[in-house]
Amino acid sequence: MRLSDCRVVLTGASGGIGLALAEQLCAAGAQVLAISRQADALAELVKRYPQHIRQVSADLRSSAGRHAVVEAARHLGGVNLLINAAGVNRFALLEQIDDEQIDEMLALNVVATLQLTRAMLPMLRSQPHAVVVNVGSTYGSIGYPGYAVYCASKFALRGFSEALRRELADTDVNVLYVAPRATRTGMNSAAAMALNKALNANVDEPQWVASEVMQAVQRNLSELYLGWPEKLFVRLNGMLPSLVDRALRKQLPIIRSFTHTPENPKR
């Protein structure tokens, strides 16, 4: 798929990987419907690419918000690329997270993504070729302490992507699942970034992640796992999970020490 031929619905467009994707899509000549609840975040891009980007303010957790996105896509003349990049994260032990925070993560990371994709499918299937991109995480394949709820949401998104790809195998719609490793975005708290530094974990820039996603779309890939040795850990966790269990158990004291912040009091 050529990026200049893309008509795109992009969720989570106001920051991090989503904002980088919006910029690169516009630069490549795509038509972008950028979905965000933060009106000011995309002002600069709208000024730079007035012919290529339109911001749609919508809460994807509501049926009214999803309906607004579908209607905007119809006015664009239909879309052939849906990028589900909206998401939320919280680095904390499960006992430090309340019910409302669990609901928020699952509602946006999983439920809203499934519901929007379902609503967009008739439009996508009417195209000569279309792609659904679901931005997951390495933590969609490896359960990691301090991210139990986030992992649950990304494991669900990975399973959804695999199942939907198989459902659509005899159509012209491909499903691409993207699994970045730690990325320098506002979604990560100061404690999470400090933990990454303490563990010497690699942290990617969102612009690089977006560039890799764009290449995967053009190559019509079905999966994209980013980062080494994280890709190796994903394979090990699938084949020899006990090895990963032992490695992460050694990290537990360090991980727990970084979860004890004013936002996550010790219980």
Tell me whether the omega of the peptide bond preceding residue 229 falls within 30 degrees of 0, making it cis. yes
pLDDT band at 266 (very low <50, low <70, confident <90, very high): low
> Tens digit of pLDDT for each residue in 76-101?
999 999 999 999 999 999 999 999 99
According to the model, what pLDDT value does residue 120 have? Answer: 98
Q: Identify the DSSP state of 77.
A: T
Give the pLDDT band (50/70/90) at residue 187: confident
Q: What is the mean pLDDT of residues 106-122?
A: 98
Given the residues 139, 144, 147, 150, select the one marked as catalytic: 150
Residue 30 DSSP SS3: coil
Rounded mean pLDDT, 131-155: 97
pLDDT over 70 percentage in the chain? 97
| pLDDT at site 265 | 58
* pLDDT of residue 226 exceeding 70: yes
SS3 70: helix
Domain segments of the chain: what residues? 3-259
User: Any catalytic annotation for residue 147?
Assistant: no
Residue 237 has pLDDT above 90, yes or no: no
Give which of 262, 257, 5, 210 is closest to 128, Cα–Cα: 5
Q: Does the global pTM surpass 0.85?
A: yes
CATH 3.40.640.10 fits 3-259, yes or no: no
| Res 264 pLDDT > 80 | no
Residue-wise pLDDT tens digits, 197-224: 998 888 999 999 999 999 999 999 999 9
Read off the pLDDT band of 117 (50, 70, 90): very high
Residues 205, 100: Cα–Cα separation, whole Å: 30
